[in-house]
Structure 1
C-alpha cells in the first residue's frame, strides 16, 4: 500500500469513527442506550483501524524509511486527533443521557 492510500485510510477510518460517535449521541438522546453503546463500540473499532495504519507509518520511519510530510498527511493526522476527541466527548454524552434516563 502506498503512502497516499495509507493517508486516505486514516482519513476514512477517522471520519467513520466521528460519524458513528455522532450516531451514538443521537441514539442516546432518543433514549436508545443499547444502540448508542453499539455505535460507540463501532467508533472505537474505526479508531483502532486508523491507529493500525498510523502505527505502520511510524514503524516505517523508525526503520529509517522517511515519510514525506505533506499537507494531506497533516490533514489525516488532524482528522484522527479530532475523531479521538469527539469520540471521548460522545462517550460522555452517552453516559449523561443514560444517567438522565435512570
Structure 2
C-alpha cells in the first residue's frame, strides 16, 4: 500500500467513525423523544466508542507529526476533521436535549 493510499485509509477512518457517532447521537435523540431513555443511553455510549476510535486515529497522525513525520494537509483531511468536530458538537448538544426531555417527562 502506498503512503498516499495509507493516508486516505486513515482519513476515511476518521470520517467513518465521526459520521457513525453523529448518526448514533441523532438516533439517541429520536429514542429519547419516544421516551426510550435506556435505548438513548445505549446509543450515546456507542457514539462515544466511535468518537474514541476516531480520536485514536487522529492522535496517531498528531504523534507522527510531532515526531517530525509531516503529512500533507488535503481537502479530504480537512473534511475528515470537520466530520469529527461536528460529531462531537452534535453529540454534546443532543445530550443536553435528552436531558431536557427527561426533565419534561418527569414533570408530567
TM-score, length of structure 1 as denominator length: 0.97
Gaps of 5+ in 1: none
What root-mean-square deviation, in Å, do the aligned CA atoms of Structure 1 and Structure 2 show? Answer: 0.9
Gaps of 5+ in 2: none
Moved over 2 A (4+): none
Is the counterpart of residue 5 in structure 1 residue 12 in structure 2? no
Q: How much does 1:26 deviate?
A: 0.2
Q: How much does 1:100 deviate?
A: 1.2
Q: Which residue of 2 aligns with 1:46?
A: 50
Q: How much does 1:12 deviate?
A: 0.1
Is the counterpart of residue 33 in structure 1 residue 18 in structure 2? no
**The one of 95, 100, 103 aligned to 1:99:** 103
CA distance in 2, matches of 1:15, 1:96: 24
Q: How much does 1:32 deviate?
A: 0.3
CA distance in 1, matches of 2:29, 2:70: 40
Q: Which has the larger radius of gyration?
A: 2
Q: How much does 1:99 deviate?
A: 1.1
**The one of 76, 80, 87 aligned to 1:76:** 80
TM-score, length of structure 2 as denominator length: 0.92
